[in-house]
Amino acid sequence: MSLGEIVALLRGGILQIVVIAAPILFTALVVGLVVAILQAATSIQEQTLTFVPKVIAILAVLAFLGSWMFARLGAYTIDIFNMIPAMAGIPRG
């Protein structure tokens, strides 16, 4: 296995992490921003007001996109396992 193949494998893994985590992180960012604007406008500085909406929004995103996330992760894992014989130098037959 060459250095280029290792770099491509690591790049693919990092890309999978970013693609799978992006919907959750983006949702938390948007909900946090909306709540922060609401708190600044109303002068309410309650700590649980920022936490509870984020948790609810993240759980909703996981409920809607969880199957897609696990399917994508499963397909990537199967691809990695299928590459093991080539990494060991075993010819496919």
| CB distance 69 to 5 below 8 Å | no
**Cα–Cα dist 35/41, whole Å:** 10
pTM: 0.79
What pLDDT, on the 0 to 100 scale, is given for residue 85?
Answer: 85
What pLDDT, on the 0 to 100 scale, is given for residue 93?
Answer: 58
Q: Which residue ranges make up each domain of the chain? A: 3-88
In the chain, the amino acid numbered 48 is T
What pLDDT, on the 0 to 100 scale, is given for residue 48?
Answer: 80
Long-range own/partner contacts, residues 11-17 (CB < 8 A, 24 or more apart)? 12/76, 13/76, 16/72, 16/73, 16/76
Task: Read off the pLDDT of residues 17-52 as tens digits, 9 standing for 90 and up.
Answer: 999 999 999 999 999 999 999 988 988 888 788 889
Task: Read off the pLDDT of residues 58-79 as tens digits, 9 standing for 90 and up.
Answer: 999 999 999 999 999 999 999 9
